[in-house]
Structure 1
Amino acid sequence: MTEAASSTIAATLTANRESAPTDFRAQVGAFELRWSADAPASLSVPTSTHAGRPGVGLVQVFTAVEQRARTSQAYWRSALGERLRVQGSDVTTDAEASRAVLVQTDAVSGIEVRTTVTAPVGTRAVHVEHDVRNAGRDTVLLTAVSSATIGFGRSQDDLDDVVWGTAASEWLAENRWGETSLRTLLPDISLSLHGQDARGHAAITSHGAWSSGEHVPCGYLTRGDGEALAWQIETSAGWHADLSQTREGGVLSLLGPTDLEHQFAHELLPGETFTVVPVAITASPSARDGAIAELTRYRRWLRGPARDQALPVVYNDFMNTLMGQPTTEQLLPLIRRAADAGVEVFCIDAGWFADPAIGDWWSTVGEWREASARFAEGGLRRVIDEIRALGMEAGLWLEPEVVGIDSPAAAQLPDEAFFQRFGRRVQEDRRYHLDFRHPAARGHLDATVDHLVAEYGISYLKLDYNINPGAGTDHHATTAADGLLAHTRAFRDWLERVQQRHTSLRLENCSSGAMRADYALLAVTHLQSTSDQQDFRLYPPVAASAPVSILPEQCGNWAYPARAMSDEETVFTLVSGLSGRLYLSGFLDELRPAQRARIAEAVALHKGLREHLADAVPFWPLGLPAWDAVTVCLGLHTTDGDLLFVWDRDAAPAAFELPGVHGEVEVLFPAADSVDRREWRLQSAEGGLSLATPAGLGARVLRVRRG
């Protein structure tokens, strides 16, 4: 921190103390921390009439002995949290971010909470994390701790035009965003007449180990005047987002695992410290798209050095292709065609380790050695040598956290290396779950990765996660959810250490097609497969919505042309791929020459756009699409103009407008804007860009240059 910056901060804090001895404030980026001698620290946006309200404690601590100070079902006003008082604070700044550190204590329980609020430069976002230390004499059993609790609105009337945006998610139908009026969730119940705050709440919650398998751990609140808050919870374990109302307005509380929702508790012995799940919050006066833009910028800061890596074009042999049954005979022609198309990484998917005679090999996974029966005449090495000889890097599929019940590794590793409940191994769909807190589990995978890199020169790993083991493991943990949280943290640490040993290794966070797409993992991996959806007609809503919760440059959107597709359908699936990181699959060796030409064109375009993709900010001219939306559009603001990815799923000719899109428009893909003599008609209009499309499925990539 510079001397001038330090002096300015010191002067600001001193002035606040002198003018109002019981009211202290610390500015951190666009946010402000506020506390007094009689109240815990709260978080707000001083330029906003909506975001943040003094008196709503930033951190709420629930224990087995003390829950709420006033009865309700919401996660705020905890008895312990209400008693927290700031004992010390410090604000620093450097070239990357400004940071405020507060230490609050509870004189009754002896709990001490050290809070760090970080505001990256260039964003209206804060990263919030807490360390809870037991400074008392007695053991404390934590049952829930809020990562951030923030008020919004200043009265009950302020809640009337607030909208809650969240995304439902499931396998093959990920990132289905929708908006609900807050009053639908929290009705006006005349709180002023009763002289009390409400007791109800509305919430979304994860279950088990798929952090985004049911709901995406991200959301937003918007108001009619354009003010918006967006948030994300950064954990691969349990999480909970909670809304409630008071006489003064609303309360949003973001948490990791809780006792009621996840069977969580953590025993905190005297002197011990528990680290709470971190979260991010952004604020914007520019509605949903503005708040998501701030979250996008924040995510790039969070990833740090990882975002400096190149963005290669990847081909994977799974989707609608070999489906987990690769062989030398089938792979070699795919490898040659992928190289012809300009692919840079060829990833061999699942099955490379399984004897083809087994058929359904899931119960045998976990040893991670090549199946010689699949790769005749030279083995897997011959296939990988062919990949590298044609100028591509080689990748393999791996599911590091599981061991099949029939795998030799299941007998070789000790019980303590696996998830356990009530003294027995947890089994899900014929597989055990490794516990990465145990050195034998980490050692097994360290040896696996080191072997694959040394023996085959692997530089890309697609990491899958296809089981949900329930609440977690209670072995060496207070509860199963406590064990799950500890495992996920150990797994993330393992990912970081692997990359420190193998600096050229790129990691894809597949996770059963985005069932565990969270920024605990995405901060330390490079690519996220956005879906396992094999119907190209259903992919556009997934691809268009994914950048709400995933960086555009990490959105691995599948494109899988097939010979049976028409030329327009081939373009349609390639546009889905181009809308993020182009992720190719399909029987390229069977395609018509015209289809192969389209793929080469798409790959070349993607290589030209990816430099701008790494700084792109998403927007949605038509709003976030419904699952059955006929017309879908994703926009990306880039330094080279705005990119628009437009899909028309109407069987009949269609005409529609993209509101607010103005400027010189060109069709980037397909280059000639003519497929089977079918053209899209584009025309500038007062309200935006008007489009007219022919009958049948169609999609285009457009670039708009503003004057």
Structure 2
Amino acid sequence: MTDTADATDSVSNQPRTAFSWGHTAMKAEFVAASDGTLRLARLARPSDPGSDPEAALPLVELTAFGHGSGWSGPRFTGTAFGARPVYRGHRSGRGEDGWESLTIELHDPATGLTAFVELTSPTKVPVLRSRVRLRNDGTEPLVVQSVSSLLLGGLPAPEALDVHRARNDWLAECRWYAEPLRDTVADISVDVHQHDSRAALALTGRGSWPSDGHLPMGALTERGGERTWLWQIESPAGWRWDLGERAHGTYLALNGPTDAEHQWRVRLAPGGEFTTVPAALALGSGLDDAMGALTAYRRAVRRPHPDHATLPVVFNDYMNTLMGDPTTEKLLPLIDAAASAGAEYFCIDSGWYDDSENGGWWDSVGAWLPSPRRFPDGGITAVLDRIRERGMVPGLWLEPEVIGVRSPIATALPPDAFFQRDGIRLTEQGRHQLDLRHPAARAHLDKTVDRIVGDWGVGYLKLDYNIVIDPGTLAPGDIAPGAGLLGHAHAYLDWLSGVLDRHPGLVVENCASGGMRMDGATLAVAQLQSTSDQQDPLRYPPIAAAAPTAVPPEQGAVWAYPQPDHDDDLITFTLGGALLGRIHLSGHLNRMSEHQLGLVRAAVDTYKSIREDLARALPFWPLGLPGWTDEWPVLGLRAPDGPSYLSVWRRGGCDELRLPVGHLAGQDVRTEILHPSDPGAGSVVWDREGGELRVSLPRTPGVLLIRLTPGT
């Protein structure tokens, strides 16, 4: 189907190309600018104001050898290519899966390069997903150094906007902060100079941990208004976004890896193709609304799996418990206690393959065979059988992409199966990195997983990744290491999809030293996402409260590791922090008193009673996104046509708090404290007219899980 219309050029008075596309929640309007290039002139919800088409950006900007930037500056807009492509047509459609699609074809006569701008959006969700497919229809090779995934101009001027970013460091993930965009993009008196500013606020992610340092996300909020633009770049490797000033407005450019910052480039021979990583942009009336739209989009784009609806409780033996030292003797009583507490999956974490006396497994991994020393009677299969006997699904930890330098697999596989530079195999922290584009590397991992899942009956894999490769690899055929890294990262996700195709009941948790691989590309394939390796229960609340910014609640694994030496308040505190995510239980439950184990059972039972709502709820933050040292972190989840839930932590400060819950203002609301069960732990009172919840937590550390049911 093709949807076209004509507009009139104000200068030449000649018809020019114009058309629109979208659905009831979002509309995109495309117009040819005065230079003839087709541009996304407006992307908005139906109620949002329009923008100036001349402030929009070309649909595609790219740099290539022999075709650089159109001007100097630290950004990838205003390129020589951007002003050249000619519009050749478009086609739109609606799939049976509920997605709207639009493909726009552009062509550069000078080089023969054709660009297909591929736009999609889930019906009724104000989120645009964009990627660009390049095809060299010319007669000469073209080496591309950067290419945009999504460009949007015509946004309000920098002085009207605040920009939001999220630090994402090991043990301190999802720490959002905001600043005025004008603090970076200074006002240079554009009219005086008759030139846009060359300044840009740019953020990049590098290496094989795509969310190390910052989440591959960002947001703009309109100061004095309600409009919000929230984005994520769905790259399993490098990425970049930048914001700058253009034509008295603001532009947003979303890219995957680039030559300048990631040593990425691709050579397109005649007939060759390349497709960028996708980028998604959510629109909302405020940050919470945009986060809700992005959450709905993430659910629509991911691989379907029963786990997303059932949300089973997982016990993992690692955190603050066995810490990579599992044995039959240690595991059996822990398995019994976990089953008694209500766990439905039991995952044996790292160390199960380590047969050394001193725990020196780090640089010898790769064969993934169980240790006879650790599992002397009946081997690991006897322990897995015990898990099944107790009514739980067994799981194992695996770090598939690495091979230790002392592993026999390091010499058994061909050299080209590993990351390399200048013919030298790379070594990082005593490990080599597999390149999943090589058939031998993939065959090795297929054999490993099919043995563990197919032969041993393991139903849960925690796939970890604890080294960083930067900038990448130069395998035969690669012209830049960043391209090799991106190629491997896509091959890894393709391998993982193949595993799930062969074993559709398998549940996969994605982990990279906690949340260092918390990117949209991986989250669309894996069922769960580790949010952190944080071991201090008092430091976890701001991570747990902000995790739904990066991952839907039903995919965000949050540790709950109560210990027998904790008092009741600390036990309920660490348990309560995980109840609006995917509770990942740990701790020495087998050493607990019956009273303490009862507290654990009560929390798990509470989780099971609300998890059906969590799988469809959208997040909100009554006090805004939490700061790292906030005394009262708060997270809300709102189930459509159902109750709302609040997790409220107190780590210090006064013992009372008022929480605005605007979507329930003016309504009668029934309040329930679901956790903890101690009636003296706290109290809540609903203010109907003020739309506020008055919360009291007399002791610290303290936590409440509250259910708000309207109309009762």
Question: 2:288 aligns to what SS in structure 1?
Answer: helix
Query: Is the contact between residue 52 and residue 150 of structure 1 (CA under 8 Å) also seen in structure 2?
Result: no
- In structure 2, distance between residues paired with 1:16 and 1:630: 56
Q: Does 1:394 align with 2:397?
A: no
1:322 corresponds to which letter in structure 2? L
State the Cα distance separating 1:305 from its structure 2 match: 1.9
Matched, 1:269 2:269: yes
User: Match of 1:228, SS?
Assistant: strand
SS class of match (1:80): coil
Deviation of residue 680 (structure 1)?
A: 3.1
Q: Return the TM-score normalized by structure 2.
A: 0.94
Task: Determine the structure 1 residue equivalent to 2:669.
Answer: 664
Match of 1:486?
A: 487
Paired residues of 1:51 and 1:283 also in contact (CA < 8 A): no
In the alignment, structure 1 residue 515 sits paired with structure 2 residue 519? no
What is the identity, as a one-letter code, of the residue corresponding to 1:672? S
Aligned equivalents of 1:363 and 1:178: distance in 2? 38
Matches within 5 A, 1:132-281: 132-153=134-155, 158-224=157-223, 225-281=225-281
Q: What is the CA deviation profile of residues 567-620 of structure 1, one whole-angstrom value per residue up to 9, with x for unaligned ones?
A: 111111111111201111111111222221121111112112111111110000
Which residue does the alignment assign to 1:64? 65
Query: Following TM superposition, by how much is the alpha carbon of 1:292 offset from its aligned partner in structure 2, in angstroms?
Result: 1.0
Shift of the 568–682 alpha-carbon distance from structure 1 to 2, 3 Å rule, reads: farther
1:654, CA displacement in angstroms? 4.1
Secondary structure of 2:66's counterpart equals coil
Distance 2:573 2:672 in 1: 14
Shift of 1:23: 3.1
Give 1:51 deviation, angstroms. 7.3
Distance 1:53 1:171 in 2: 43
Tell me the SS of whatever aligns to 1:384: helix
Amino acid across the alignment from 2:339: A
Q: Secondary structure at the match of 2:67?
A: coil
**Counterpart in the other structure of 1:25:** 19
Equivalent residue letter for 2:31: W
Contact 2:186 2:199 in 1 (8 A): no
Task: Give 1:291-302 correspondences, 5 Å limit.
Answer: 291-302=290-301
Correspondence list, 1:56-455, <5 A: 56-95=57-96, 96-153=98-155, 158-224=157-223, 225-284=225-284, 286-306=285-305, 310-455=310-455
* Aligned with 2:685 (options 682, 686, 698): 682
Aligned residues: 692
Q: Which residue of 1 aligns with 2:32?
A: 36
Which letter maps to 1:179? A
Native 8 Å contact 1:17 1:24 kept in 2? no
Match in the other structure for 1:583: 584
Distance in 2 between the 1:469 and 1:441 partners? Answer: 17
In structure 2, do the counterparts of structure 1 residues 79 and 672 end up closer, same or farther at CA, with 3 Å as the change threshold? same
Contact 1:49 1:153 (8 Å CA) reproduced: no
Aligned residue for 1:83, secondary structure, equals: coil
Report if the CA contact (8 A) 1:397-1:463 is conserved: yes
| Aligned twin of 2:624 | 623
Q: Cα 1:658–1:250, aligned 2, differ >3 Å: closer, same or farther?
A: same
User: How far does the alpha carbon of each residue in 1:550-579 deviate from its partner, in whole angstroms, 9 at most, with x for none?
Assistant: 111101111000112111111111111112
Deviation (angstroms), 1:50: 6.9
The whole-number CA distance in structure 2 between the counterparts of 1:484 and 1:168 is: 23
In the TM superposition, what are the counterparts of 1:543-562 in structure 2 within 5 Å? 543-562=544-563
- The amino acid across from 1:689 in the alignment is L
Contact 2:237 2:486 in 1 (8 A): yes
SS in structure 1 of the partner of residue 310 of structure 2: coil
Amino acid at match of 2:32: S
Q: Does the C-alpha gap of structure 1 residues 698 and 671 become closer, same or farther in structure 2, counting only changes over 3 Å?
A: closer
Deviations 1:206-264 (A, max 9, x none): 12111111110112111021011111111111000111112331111000001121111
1:467-486 counterparts in 2 under 5 A? 467-476=467-476, 477-486=478-487
TM-score w.r.t. structure 1 length?
0.95
Deviation at residue 673 of structure 1 after TM alignment: 4.3
Consecutive unaligned residues of structure 1, counting only runs of 5 or more, are 1-5
Listed as ranges, the gaps of 5+ residues in structure 2 are none
Report the Cα distance in structure 2 between the residues aligned to 1:52 and 1:499, rounded to whole angstroms.
47
Name whichever of 56-65 and 386-395 sits farther off. 56-65
Shift of residue 70, structure 1, vs aligned partner:
2.5
Deviation at 1:304, TM superposition (A): 4.3
Q: Structure 2: how far apart are the matches of 1:659 and 1:497?
A: 44
- C-alpha separation in 2, matches of 1:114 and 1:261: 25
* Conservation of the 8 A alpha-carbon contact between 2:236 and 2:519: yes
Amino acid at match of 2:489: T
Q: CA deviation at 1:17?
A: 9.1
Question: CA–CA distance in 2 between the matches of 1:699 and 1:42?
Answer: 47
Aligned to 1:692: 696
User: Compared with structure 1, are the counterparts of its residues 341 and 16 closer, same or farther at alpha carbon in structure 2 (3 Å cutoff)?
Assistant: farther
Larger deviation, residues 354-363 vs 542-551: 354-363
Q: Which has the higher helix share?
A: 1
Per-residue deviation at 1:35?
3.3
Provide the rounded CA distance (Å) in 1 between the counterparts of 2:629 and 2:700.
Answer: 16
Deviation string 1:519-559 (CA, Å, 9 cap, x unpaired) is: 11110110001000000000010011011111111011110
Structure 1 residues 459 and 297 mapped into 2: Cα distance closer, same or farther (>3 Å)? same
The answer to whether the Cα contact below 8 Å between 1:654 and 1:695 also exists between their aligned partners in 2 is no
Maintained 8 Å contact 1:50/1:227? no
Change in CA separation of 1:495 and 1:363 when aligned onto 2, cut-off 3 Å: same
The residue type paired with residue 576 of structure 1 is G
C-alpha contact (below 8 Å) 2:151/2:253 kept by paired residues: yes
1:240 and 1:175 map into 2 onto residues whose CA distance is 18
- Is 2:502 the partner of 1:501? yes
Return the offset for 1:678: 3.9
Shift of 1:171: 0.6
SS of match in other structure, 2:350: coil
Residue identity opposite 2:168 in structure 1: S
**Structure 1 pair 36/679, CA: closer, same or farther in 2 (3 Å)?**
closer
What amino acid is aligned across from residue 584 of structure 1 in structure 2? Answer: L
Aligned mates of 2:579, 2:449 — CA distance in 1? 31
The offset of 1:57, in angstroms, is 1.4
Query: Is this contact kept in 1: 2:354–2:360, CA < 8 A?
Result: no
**Partners of 1:53 and 1:474 in 2: how far apart?**
42
RMSD of aligned alpha carbons: 1.9
Q: Bigger shift: 533-542 or 107-116?
A: 107-116
315-324 or 53-62, which deviates more: 53-62
Distance across 1 between alignment mates of 2:540 and 2:161: 30
